[in-house]
Amino acid sequence: MLEINKVNAKTWSRMGSRATYGQAILALAEVDKEFLVLSADLGSSSGLSRFETAFPERFLNVGIAEQNMIGIASGLAKEGFTVFASSFAPFISMRASEQIRMNLGYMDLNVKAVAIGSGVSMAFLGNSHYGIEDASIMRSIPNLTVVSPADCAEIIKVIHAAAKFDGPMYIRLTGAVNNPPVYFEDYEFEIGKAIKLKQGSDVSIIACGTMVYESLEASKILELNGISTSVINMHTLKPLDTKTIDECLDSTKLIVTVEEQTIIGGLGSAVAEYKSAFKNVPPQYIIGLPDIFGVTAEYRFLLEKYRLVGDKIAIDIQKFLQKKSK
């Protein structure tokens, strides 16, 4: 596997999430001879050009036809192949939604649907290309495992784990180029097992995707203001690591979820669904994209606008705490 170290972490960060996906696939292909890769006219946009050149017999471009891509991927999976199929988040999760439901869900076929450019990372391409609702929709389909890696290093971890994982997955890639790194050295990664990055005693921030980095930044500010903060990388949205949530409920007084996704149906909802069964547990503050088709702008501008950056997350958590104490 590609080594996770400071140099590589910085290189992948510069390349961004999509190119790192292609890099991960290329590196994996050299040791794993089995899997196939499908694309719907977005091979180069998925960073797969080098893979296509190196392994032409393992790559298939099905044209601008996401529904057909998922069906074909599923037929291949039914005959024993592990298949990675990628497109932009809304096209793979919504245009081909029912193909994912029938084939990956209902028939439980071993396809890894990879959403590139999810969240609002597509910037000036606009809401047609944003992945706002994809995690909510995919999470509600039975049999699907839903994973959203925290940074480029974790994309590599996830792709390796996915190739070994027997079952359908939705892999949601957020972040663009200059995707801030969380990990600079190798670590244990297991699908379905959250990673506690920091232990605190006041607030637990549970985040996924790009929001893991921003939550770590927020936690530094909170600490300076005397608020002791846990940060959890909940890379797997489904199945949810409830054991880690239990630890947060037991050890802190507020649960905050942060995601680059609509606040309806994603990580925040998943955590709320779980904790709603318990009496006398800490309240939850759900941070994410608002329930709107918002403006189009540069990626960083949008994250600032929707207050999905470290300093603003910290301010909002503090405000929430003040409101709560009144």
322 contacts: CB under 8 Å, gap ≥ 6: none
Catalytic residue (choose from 52, 66, 154, 259): 66
Q: Is 102 in the site for another protein (CB under 8 A)?
A: yes
By beta-carbon proximity to another protein, the closer residue of 69 and 221 is 69
Q: How far is the CB of 107 from another protein (least distance, A)?
A: 5
Bridge partners, 76 (sequence order) = none
Other beta carbons within 10 Å of 326: 4
Q: Contact 104/74 with Cβ under 8 angstroms?
A: yes
Query: Is residue 298 flagged as an active site residue?
Result: no
Other beta carbons within 10 Å of 193: 14
Q: Contact 283/255 with Cβ under 8 angstroms?
A: yes
By beta-carbon proximity to another protein, the closer residue of 74 and 230 is 74
By beta-carbon proximity to another protein, the closer residue of 60 and 116 is 60
Helix (H, G, I), strand (E, B) or coil at 237: strand
Q: How far is the CB of 25 from another protein (least distance, A)?
A: 18
By beta-carbon proximity to another protein, the closer residue of 102 and 263 is 102
Site string for another protein, 47-86 (x = CB under 8 A): ----------x--x-xx-x-xx-xxxxxxxxxxxx-----
Interface positions, 167-206, toward another protein (CB under 8 A): none
The site for another protein, by CB under 8 A, has a size of 25
Q: Contact 203/222 with Cβ under 8 angstroms?
A: yes
Site string for another protein, 104-133 (x = CB under 8 A): --xx--------------------------
Q: How far is the CB of 75 from another protein (least distance, A)?
A: 2
CA angle 120, 270, 204 (to 5 degrees): 85
113 contacts: CB under 8 Å, gap ≥ 6: 70, 73, 85, 86, 92, 93, 96, 100, 104, 138, 168, 169, 170, 171
Sequence-ordered strand ranges (E) for 89-218: 111-116, 145-147, 169-172, 195-198, 203-207
Interface positions, 252-291, toward another protein (CB under 8 A): none
Q: How far is the CB of 66 from another protein (least distance, A)?
A: 9
Q: Is 103 in the site for another protein (CB under 8 A)?
A: yes
* Residue listed under structure tokens 């149906």: 265
By beta-carbon proximity to another protein, the closer residue of 98 and 247 is 98
Binding window for another protein (CB under 8 A); candidates: 102-110, 219-227, 256-264, 314-322:
102-110
Q: How far is the CB of 37 from another protein (least distance, A)?
A: 13
From 99, 145, 174, 210, residue interacting with another protein (rule: CB under 8 A): 99
Rounded to an integer, what distance in angstroms lies between the CA atom of residue 326 and that of residue 322?
A: 7
Other beta carbons within 10 Å of 322: 9
By beta-carbon proximity to another protein, the closer residue of 79 and 188 is 79
Catalytic residues: 66
Site residues (vs another protein, CB under 8 A): 57, 60, 62-63, 65, 67-68, 70-81, 98-99, 102-103, 106-107
